[in-house]
Amino acid sequence: GENVEQHPSTLSVQEGDSAVIKCTYSDSASNYFPWYKQELGKGPQLIIDIRSNVGEKKDQRIAVTLNKTAKHFSLHITETQPEDSAVYFCAATDSWGKLQFGAGTQVVVTP
Amino acid sequence: DAGVIQSPRHEVTEMGQEVTLRCKPISGHDYLFWYRQTMMRGLELLIYFNNNVPIDDSGMPEDRFSAKMPNASFSTLKIQPSEPRDSAVYFCASSLALGGTGNTGELFFGEGSRLTVL
């Protein structure tokens, strides 16, 4: 089945700096790669996603890149702000279309 | 729509007791998922339903766990008997479709039920 690995597990950045989270997946048939943000005490929420026919997608301060050959994808957050502090999860679809989540990255943005 | 609604938000119980977690998905969503979140294992898919029918329960840890979806607007996850290692946050999520070609498969999560088994 699909296996998604995510790094780093924790990431501390200064406000205004960039943050990068990287994920790898194992199933070459995966074709949908969403990113979820989980704030304290809440459920994860979709923030951006990318499909296998696209290499990069951007939405304001966040962007995702996908390298299908290498089977890895990344989340980039620019000009980080305190409200970006949260746990971020990458995910990839398995052959049935179910999402397999990475272990999560705790991002802390310090003022 | 109010989003996915879960109850209770917090549950503290003693080992051996029965626990029932409840979920109301977003109206019109055909898929309902139950996840468990722990520090050690992250987000684990326990079971999911399509049109009220259980499709994949391979993530259910053991026979002590059961899930039902009697209608399109209600699902339960039951643990009987509960054990301390069941302590976790249990999330319900719903979606219009599974992720894949042509479908977004965006999951909408509830706020979770934090279970503590003493």
- Taken as a whole, chain B contains a residue count of 118
Residue pairs between chains A and B whose CB atoms are closer than 8 Å? 60
Of A44, A99, A104, which is closest to B99 when you measure between CB atoms? A99
Q: What's the full length of chain A, in residues?
A: 111
What distance, in Å, lies between the first and last C-alpha atoms of chain B?
36
For testing contact with chain A, the best of B37, B40, B43, B91 (most A CBs within 10 A)? B43
Contact assignment for B110 to A43 by CB distance below 8 Å: yes
Average pLDDT for B17-25? 98
- Please answer yes or no on whether A97 and B99 come within 8 Å at the CB atom: yes
Distance CA A2, CA B81 (A): 31
| Res B20 pLDDT > 90 | yes
Q: Which of residues 13-52 of B touch A (CB under 8 A)?
A: 42-43, 45, 48
In terms of Cα–Cα distance, which of A106, A90, A85, A87 is closest to A11? Answer: A106
Rounding to the nearest 10 degrees, give the CA dihedral for residues B88, A93, A56, A77.
Answer: 0
Residue B100 has pLDDT above 70, yes or no: no
Q: What is the mean pLDDT of residues B53-73?
A: 95
Inter-chain residue contact B109 with A45, CB threshold 8 Å: yes
Asked whether the beta carbons of residue A46 and residue B107 sit closer than 8 angstroms, the reply is: yes
Q: Is the pLDDT of residue B62 over 90?
A: no
> Would you list the DSSP string of B33-95?
EEEEEETTTEEEEEEEEETTEEEE-TT--STTEEEEEEETTEEEEEESS--GGG-EEEEEEEE
Q: Which of A4, A7, A98, A106 is the best substitution to test chain B (most B C-beta atoms within 10 A)?
A: A98
B98·A31 Cβ contact <8 A: no
pLDDT of B58 strictly over 80: yes
Q: How many angstroms separate the CA atoms of A101 and B93, rounded?
A: 14
Average pLDDT of chain A is 94
Check A104 against B43: CB less than 8 A apart.
yes
Report the residue from A32, A41, A42 with minimal CB separation from B105. Answer: A32
Residues β-bridged to residue B70: none
Residue B103 pLDDT exceeds 80: no
- Side chain identity, residue A103: A
The count of other CB atoms within 10 Å of the CB of residue A108 is: 14
